[in-house]
Structure 1
Amino acid sequence: MNKKFIILSIIMLMPLCLAQDISVEKLLAYNKWSSQNQRAYLNEDEKLYRQIVFFENLQKIKEHNSNPNNTYSIHLNQFSDMTREEFAEKILMKQDLINDYMKGIGQQATHNNANNETQMNSQNHTLAASIDWRTKGAVTSVKDQGQCGSCWSFSAAALMESFNFIQNKALVNFSEQQLVDCVTPENGYPSYGCKGGWPATCLDYASKVGITTLDKYPYVAVQKNCTVTGTNNGFKLKKWIVIPNTSNDLKSALNFSPVSVLVDATNWDYYSSGIFNGCNQTNINLNHAVLAVGYDEKDNWIVKNSWSAGWGEHGYIRLAPNNTCGILSSNIQVTA
Structure 2
Amino acid sequence: MGPWLQLLLLLGLLLAAAPASSKPPAAGAQAWELASPELREPARFALEMYNRGRAAGTRAALGAVRGRVRRAGRGSLYSLKATLVEPPCNDPTVCQLPVSKKTLLCSFEVLDELGKHMLLRRDCGPVDTKTTDDKNETFSSFLPLLNKDPLPQDFSVKMASIFKDFVTTYNRTYDSQEASWRMSVFANNMVRAQKIQALDRGTAQYGVTKFSDLTEEEFRTIYLNPLLKDAPGRNMRLAQPVTDVPPPQWDWRNKGAVTDVKDQGMCGSCWAFSVTGNVEGQWFLKRGTLLSLSEQELLDCDKTDKACLGGLPSNAYSAIRTLGGLETEDDYSYRGHLQTCSFSAEKAKVYINDSVELSKNEQKLAAWLAKKGPISVAINAFGMQFYRHGISHPLRPLCSPWLIDHAVLLVGYGNRSATPFWAIKNSWGTNWGEEGYYYLHRGSGACGVNIMASSAVIN
CA distance in 2: counterparts of 1:69 and 1:203, whole angstroms: 35
RMSD: 2.3
Q: Cα deviations across residues 54-101 of structure 1 (Å, max 9, x unaligned)?
A: 12223444566688966210131210101112111111112xx23541
Q: 1:287 aligns with which of 405, 408, 432?
A: 405
Q: 1:327 aligns with which of 439, 449, 456?
A: 449
TM-score, normalised via structure 2 length: 0.64
Q: Which has the higher contact order (CA 8 A, sep 6+)?
A: 1
**Deviation for aligned residue 1:231:** 7.2
Q: Cα deviations across residues 103-135 of structure 1 (Å, max 9, x unaligned)?
A: 34xx54x3x1xx2x52xx33x322111111111
**2:406 aligned partner, one-letter code:** H
8 Å CA contact 2:280, 2:293 repeated in 1: yes
8 Å CA contact 1:281, 1:324 repeated in 2: yes
**1:250 aligned partner, one-letter code:** L
Structure-2 residue corresponding to 1:57 = 189
CA distance in 2: counterparts of 1:257 and 1:311, whole angstroms: 24
Does the residue aligned with 1:300 lie in a helix, a strand or coil?
strand
| Distance change (3 Å), C-alpha of 1:170 and 1:2 | same
CA distance in 2: counterparts of 1:70 and 1:163, whole angstroms: 31
Structure-2 residue corresponding to 1:34 = 167
Structure-2 residue corresponding to 1:265 = 381
8 Å CA contact 1:130, 1:299 repeated in 2: no
Structure-2 residue corresponding to 1:89 = 221
**Deviation for aligned residue 1:200:** 1.9
Structure-2 residue corresponding to 1:78 = 210
Question: Is 1:22–2:152 an aligned residue pair?
Answer: no
**Deviation for aligned residue 1:249:** 2.2
**Deviation for aligned residue 1:221:** 1.3
Structure-1 residue corresponding to 2:11 = none
Does the residue aligned with 1:269 lie in a helix, a strand or coil?
helix
Q: 1:198 aligns with which of 312, 331, 340?
A: 312
Does the residue aligned with 1:214 lie in a helix, a strand or coil?
coil
Matches within 5 A, 1:106-125: 108=235, 110=236, 112=237, 115=238, 117-118=239-240, 121-122=241-242, 124-125=243-244
Structure-2 residue corresponding to 1:305 = 426
**Deviation for aligned residue 1:312:** 1.0
| Distance change (3 Å), C-alpha of 1:168 and 1:69 | closer
8 Å CA contact 1:240, 1:334 repeated in 2: yes
8 Å CA contact 2:229, 2:404 repeated in 1: no
Does the residue aligned with 1:295 lie in a helix, a strand or coil?
strand
Task: List alignment gaps of at least 5 residues for structure 2.
Answer: 1-78, 82-105, 109-122, 125-144
CA distance in 2: counterparts of 1:28 and 1:276, whole angstroms: 27
Matches within 5 A, 1:105-254: 108=235, 110=236, 112=237, 115=238, 117-118=239-240, 121-122=241-242, 124-184=243-303, 189=304, 191-208=305-322, 209-230=324-345, 233-254=348-369
* Bigger Rg, which one: 2
| Distance change (3 Å), C-alpha of 1:68 and 1:238 | closer
CA distance in 2: counterparts of 1:145 and 1:234, whole angstroms: 22
| Distance change (3 Å), C-alpha of 1:66 and 1:290 | closer
8 Å CA contact 1:64, 1:70 repeated in 2: no
Number of residues of Structure 1 aligned to a counterpart in Structure 2:
314
8 Å CA contact 1:140, 1:158 repeated in 2: yes
Higher helix residue share: 1
